[in-house]
Amino acid sequence: MTALAPGSTIGILGGGQLGRMLAVAAAQLGYRCHVYSPESDSVAAEVAARFTCAAWHDAAALAQFAAACDVITYEFENVPVGPLGALPHGLLAPGTRALEVAQDRVREKHFVEDVGGTPAPYAAVDHDSELAGAVDRIGTPGILKTRRDGYDGKGQWRFENAAEAQGIRIPQSGSVYEGMVRFEREFSVILVRGHDGEVRFWDSPVNTHRDGILARSELPAPAIVTEQVAAARALAQRVAEALGYVGVMTAEFFATADGPVFNEMAPRVHNSGHWTIEGAVTSQFENHVRAICGLPLGDTASLSGRMVMQNLIGEECLAIEQHLSDPAAHLHLYGKAEPRPGRKMGHLTRVG
């Protein structure tokens, strides 16, 4: 691929905070961004050169958007795949294959197994009548997840015993029942893959969730994680190569006594990689821009052995003076107007 010259336009599908941080990184490299989102209150559009507010299935608006872009990427994995088939060949990076896999939890698990990975024990549940059998086969405790959509703990039901699964209605799109994994810690493998197939990894942070939402990512990770990173990286790279992936991708794992267990993948920049803005030579956002634009990838080395990224959820974002009273703190607020419970409003990174 011939590298896109500064001044070219990067299209971003989705208007949230990940798109906002991508647009900031793109601007630093001299690129313009054009955000496309059905939501009029886009925080990404606030820092972009252009904004198209239109439905995903608005073929005319999407075609006009595509004609104004030199490359198009996406900032979240629930962009409908169907309309993207009309985009000119090669314009979308990563392509639709990664979306097709990541949008269906059962398909994602099959895909990971096919490239040699180990997901949590699972069973597809497409009808109400199948749930009891799935719980019986996989056992309890377990967690029922919608097969499509759902993030940050949404669309999930935990069962401690089979009785708690009675009366649950399965959505039309189906669900997947997973056995709970006995694990020591959760961690991420964050990689970037260029058009030429080069792959680079950032250090793997250990992640802490609260109510299904990522609360903290931090380095260094404990020994049980560092001992399993090589195997997890090898799997993540096989996934990226099998998808023909270009850009930043994250795979989340459980560190268990039997080795890394695959949890899920995100075909995009990821919350657990926000620390790279201040904590790495090249951030995940800049390297995603570099990759999709055909530029050389940047160094992913950490600048310090100690980093903590804390999500600011709900009204935690309001204590600005308190957060900044630590001179080592880097505060990122996403520009969202309403600090609702469970809503990611910003993050705070401490380096060193």
Q: Which residues contribute to the annotated binding site? A: 105, 145, 150-156, 178-181, 186, 209, 263-264
Report helix, strand or coil for 268: coil
CA distances for 203 relative to 124, 283, 305, angstroms: 33, 12, 10
Partners of residue 45 on adjacent β-strands: none
- How far out from the chain centre does Cα 288 lie? 12
**Sheet (strand 175-179) strand order:** 122-125, 175-179, 142-146, 156-159
Report the binding-site residues for ATP: 105, 145, 150-156, 178-181, 186, 209, 263-264
User: 37, 32, 46, 31: which is closest to 15 by C-alpha?
Assistant: 37
Cα–Cα distance, 347 to 285 (Å, whole number): 15
Cα–Cα distance, 206 to 275 (Å, whole number): 12
Contacts of 246 (CB under 8 A, 6+ apart): 93, 94, 95, 193, 194, 195, 291, 292
Partners of residue 10 on adjacent β-strands: 33, 71
> What residue type is assigned to position 334 of the chain?
Y
